[in-house]
Amino acid sequence: MENEEINNEGLEPDTAKNPDDNSQTSKDVIIQIISSLRAKMQENRRLLFVLKAALITILSIIIPILLLLYIVYLVPALEESTSGHKTEITNNPELKTDAAYKKQIALMSKNIKQLSRKFNTYSSGQSYIVINTTENKFSLYKNKKLIREGLCSSGANKILQTQKMNYLFKTPKGKFSIMGKRKHPYWHRSDWDFIEQGLPVPPKDHPSRWEEGVLGDYALDLVDGYMIHGTIYKRLMGMPVTHGCVRLGDEDLEIVFNTLNIGSKVYIF
């Protein structure tokens, strides 16, 4: 124990000197390293040149990238963080007793009721059908309840180019009405059907224009010759292949025919 104390006592003056000495020695070491590196670099100028070139290249790539990232991402983020201060929503009882306030609230409530009533008149209470041309699906509604849904086929989005004119085969989008309903419909072939097959176009009243069975058992007329009808190409159901009409499968078509009346709405999107 005594020995240890003696030893410790003996060490104290040494440790007190140490910080200065250590820093001095470390400085010396660094200076030595730098001077040796300098000496080496002066010896090897080529290495120095390569290092400088590498540094400049790296910086000239990194600085523009950082700058771009700053401008493209960071500035808009900072802009967002500084914009807009949350509105303080109040519930002041004094304000609620104000006559002008009361009048305004009553007016707005009345407006909302009127607007709601008006808006509800738009949504059809009758049966209607919705056609989704992107997914080639239909949904049939009765009393605002979905009663049947399934696949259909809509316009192929095809342009048939002829020397005289172009034909666009696309299903129109928006709100339409059923204009007519037909059982066992005949199809009056349009000019494009002949042109598409490379056939000569016959006169309008030529018997070759009339074709039976290709439209299925029922047809519901929309507008400008567009129809909802059946098809003999059942394997193409669910695909965009038609000339603009909407094709349905036999069972679906029968239900749609029996559910929709003349004037019923058809919503196509």
Partner 1 sequence: MEAETRKSPRYLFRALIIILIALIAFVVYYSIMEMRSSSKKMAEISDEYGFVKYEKLKLPENITTDSTFLSLFREQAYLQSRVAMAETDSVYLTINLTDSVINIEISGVVVHSTYIDEIEASKLLTNGDEFIITSLLSAPLTIVSDTSSIVKIPIVMKIAPKDTSEFIPDAIPDTAFYEPVNYIFETDRGINIIVYQSEEINQGDNKERFMFDLRHRLINTKAVMKDILAFKVPEYQLFIKIKIPSADAKIIYRAIPKHGQIGIYK
Of the two residues 181 and 265, which places its CB atom closer to partner 1 in the complex?
265
Burial class of 242 by CB neighbour count within 10 A (0 to 12, 13 to 18, 19+): buried
Q: Is the dihedral of CA 2, 4, 6, 8 positive or negative?
A: negative
Cβ-based nearer residue to partner 1, 24 or 73: 73
Handedness of CA 38, 44, 46, 50 (dihedral sign): negative
Q: Give whichever of 95 and 262 is closer to partner 1, judged by the CB atom.
A: 95
Interaxial angle between packed helices 2-43 and 45-69, expressed in degrees from 0 to 180 and rounded to the nearest 10? 100
| Separation of alpha carbons 156 and 144, rounded Å | 30
Closer residue to partner 1, CB minimum distance, 7 or 82? 82
> How near is the Cβ of 147 to partner 1 at its closest, in Å?
15
Write down the least CB distance from residue 109 to partner 1, Å.
6
Nearer to partner 1, 11 or 159 (CB): 159
Give yes or no for a contact between 127 and 235, defined as CB atoms under 8 angstroms apart.
no
Residue 17 vs 96, nearer CB to partner 1: 96
**Minimal distance in Å, beta carbon 29 to partner 1?**
28
H or E element, residue 256: helix 250-259
CA distance 48 to 178: 85
End-to-end CA separation in angstroms for the chain:
97
Closest distance to partner 1 from the beta carbon of 259 (Å): 16
